Amino acid sequence: MVEKPTEIEQNTLIRKEKDTFKTGENFSAQRFLGLHKETEDRYTFRLWAPNAEKVWVVGDFNQWEQTDLMTFDSECGIWEITLETPQKDQLYKFRIQQQGGTIIDKIDPFSFKFEKRPNNAAVIYDFPEKKWRDGLWFARKKRSNYFRRPMNIYEVHSSSWRQRPDGTPYSFKELKDEMIPYVKKMGYTHIEFMPLMEHPLGRSWGYQLTGYFALSSYFGTPEEFQDFVEACHLSNIGVLIDWVPGHFSVNNDALAYYDGTPQFEYFDPDRAKNIRWGSLNFDLGKPEVQSFLISCVLFWIEEYHVDGIRVDAVSSMIYRDYDDGPWTPNHEGGNRNLEGYYFLQKLNAVIKGRHPEVLMIAEESSSETKVTGLIETGSLGFDFKWNMGWMNDVLRFYELDPIYRKDNFNLITFSFMYMHNENYILPLSHDEVVHGKKSLMHKMWGDRYKQFAQLRNLFTYMITHPGKKLLFMGSEWGQFLEWKFDEELEWVDLNDPLNQSMQFFTEQLNQFYKDERALWELDNTHETLEVIDADNSDETVLSFIRQGKRKKDFLIVILNMTPVERRNFTVGVPYPGTYTEVFNTEMKEFGGTWTAHNPECQTVPQEFKHYTDVIKTTVPALGAIILRPDSINTRRGR
């Protein structure tokens, strides 16, 4: 039996919690701040509000009256009170007499649960101590190298994936029964959720947060999400979540100017105000804010067993001039936000120190700062970075009428020049199918048949291009309408045979990706890709090799970007022998017209670029084919 700490020991622990929070080194601050059950009938409330004049805790248990005044520790700026009247499931807030005398009710920044929006009172709630059953999943993760494993992410906005007939979203209990089997069947390795933390406005998609430690009550209960993650792991599916440490909601009853002064935000109003997103920027150099944010990440990792964190809007955190408003240079005269830069390095160092198997992913749009790699080399320390340049160039290319593609061929080949500058994820994300940008399907040129053909071509290019993969929900079957955050996906599309075929294509392509080691085994090395021909702009056909560890383990990828079938097409190959077509985007079961694969190809001695042998085959219009060596002589060739 564990002995209860003595009063002296308890006071020492409390002092340590306060001191480390103040110095930016308390990485489990939620275990001290916020609401905590001491005994069956006693709760302690603690709040960081260093410049408040007075603070009361108000709620159902005291009729929301100012009867319970908290005491203040001026050394660390923390208010505290222990009460016997609160009961489970009752609501509460902190009533702050801010500096200057204004009195306002504020949320508990460390609450684990809030009432459903638009209301935002915290709920008296004991966070569950779950007995997890996913030990085998974590054991496998610790033994594997995620750089050399397949990673194909299904990006999801949880409340618009499926909805009930009354328009309310599925809870995670319902999503567990429907989403996990679907994702498993479709062959994805991970689900990535857009922010799940508490936020006041659905229109923000969760990117303007208020309750950083709380699963939004709109999506279900913490227990349901824990069970969902566990079920994913039992099905060999990882779970990633988006997180927003750069900026937060301006709502007056949340974190904004909490104690009447710049508490969570920068003191400089130009740095505090985020004009582009109508929000407020965290002061990332303030130690208490660092404790708050790093504790938040570890909380979601340790209490919900999530496998990775995708950090949103990293560019806004590391550049002072990223926003649309006025800015001032740093003390070195440059545009780097040094506080944000060093905070992100600290964040990644702490997370990797405790959980080296957790994926840290950056959504970052510049090329001026090294984002992935070792912190010791000057990097921010992330594992992966979204390749925004690839996404923008490729989508611009596929939107072009094919007659203009030969003059813009570099849009799909330029990424080969920098593909190893970072460890990349190739995203076709929610940002590209909203706000009038049109769905991926709708971006494609031509009639409906040609649009499906090009979507299959695009997905094949993404799957065969070096880098991990991400696709936003609904795109897998070619949803034509833009994503609507407040409506469920257009599942009715799947009554159409072409949408059914597109969904089946994506399923088969995803499985092909997982099965073919050449597509991921050497993903972050220079050996993984060899360009055969990236200069054939006249015919607008791209060809390259993806290489696995073993010499004979490679694939030849040929993509035709025009509506002209290329018959007797010549392509160089590294070794003489025979090659077999193993994937063709124009097969009838995928929605195309081909009923049989190309016949086996026998090499012919002929110079092609730096190759001494070639094969000849047919590449379908707006199609892609993949060939595998069947019987080759690796002692000759090249």
Q: State the Cα–Cα distance between residues 464 and 419, nearest whole angstrom.
A: 13
Q: State the Cα–Cα distance between residues 234 and 30, nearest whole angstrom.
A: 28
Q: Is 223 helix (H, G, I), strand (E, B) or coil?
A: helix
pTM value is 0.97
- Residue 307 has which token pair? 């496998």
The CATH code of the domain that includes 620 is: 2.60.40.1180
Would residue 31 count as lying in a domain?
yes
Would residue 534 count as lying in a domain?
yes
Amino acid at residue number 278: G
How would you list the strands of the sheet with 71-73, edge to edge?
A: 34-39, 42-48, 78-83, 71-73
Using CA atoms of 155, 160, 216, 212 in order, give the dihedral in degrees to the nearest 10. Answer: 40
The CATH code of the domain that includes 87 is: 2.60.40.10
- Domain C-terminal end among 74, 96, 123: 123
Mean per-residue pLDDT pooled into runs of 10, the chain (638 residues) = 66 88 97 93 96 98 97 96 95 97 97 95 93 96 92 98 95 97 98 97 95 96 97 98 97 97 97 96 98 98 98 97 93 96 98 97 94 96 97 97 97 96 97 95 96 98 98 98 96 98 98 98 95 97 97 97 97 97 98 97 95 97 97 80
267 Cβ neighbours under 8 A, 6+ residues apart: 283
Helix orientation angle between 222-234 and 287-304, rounded to the nearest 10 degrees: 60
- Domain C-terminal end among 123, 142, 170: 123
Q: State the Cα–Cα distance between residues 231 and 184, nearest whole angstrom.
A: 11
Q: Could you give the number of structural domains in the chain? A: 2
- Domain C-terminal end among 123, 158, 189: 123
Q: Is 166 an active-site residue?
A: no
Q: State the Cα–Cα distance between residues 456 and 509, nearest whole angstrom.
A: 9
552's torsion region: left (phi>0), alpha (psi -120 to 50) or beta? alpha
Would residue 144 count as lying in a domain?
no
Q: What is the DSSP code string of 157-222?
A: -HHHHSB-TTSPBPPHHHHHHHHHHHHHHHT-SEEEESP-EE-S-GGGTT-S-SEEEEE-GGG--H
Would residue 174 count as lying in a domain?
no
Residue among 227, 288, 363, 422 flagged as catalytic: 363
CA 225 to chain centre: 17
Place of tokens 């809007």: 313
> What pLDDT shows up at residue 3?
60
616 Cβ neighbours under 8 A, 6+ residues apart: 568, 569, 570, 571, 601, 604
Would residue 181 count as lying in a domain?
no
332 Cβ neighbours under 8 A, 6+ residues apart: 338
Residue among 17, 242, 312, 383 flagged as catalytic: 312
111 Cβ neighbours under 8 A, 6+ residues apart: 34, 35, 122, 123, 125, 211, 213, 214
Would residue 113 count as lying in a domain?
yes
Question: Do residues 78 and 33 touch, judged by C-beta distance below 8 A?
Answer: yes
Q: Is 363 an active-site residue?
A: yes
Q: State the Cα–Cα distance between residues 326 and 335, nearest whole angstrom.
A: 12
> What pLDDT shows up at residue 121?
97
Amino acid at residue number 136: L
The neighbour count for residue 609, using CB atoms within 10 Å, is 12
Would residue 613 count as lying in a domain?
yes
Q: Which domain holds residue 76?
A: 7-123
Would residue 49 count as lying in a domain?
yes
How would you list the strands of the sheet with 529-533, edge to edge?
A: 529-533, 541-547, 554-560, 624-632, 577-584, 601-602
> What pLDDT shows up at residue 13?
84
> What pLDDT shows up at residue 197?
98
262 Cβ neighbours under 8 A, 6+ residues apart: 272, 283
Cα separation values, 392 from 243, 386, 537, Å = 23, 11, 20
> What pLDDT shows up at residue 471?
98
- Residue 36 has which token pair? 């905590």
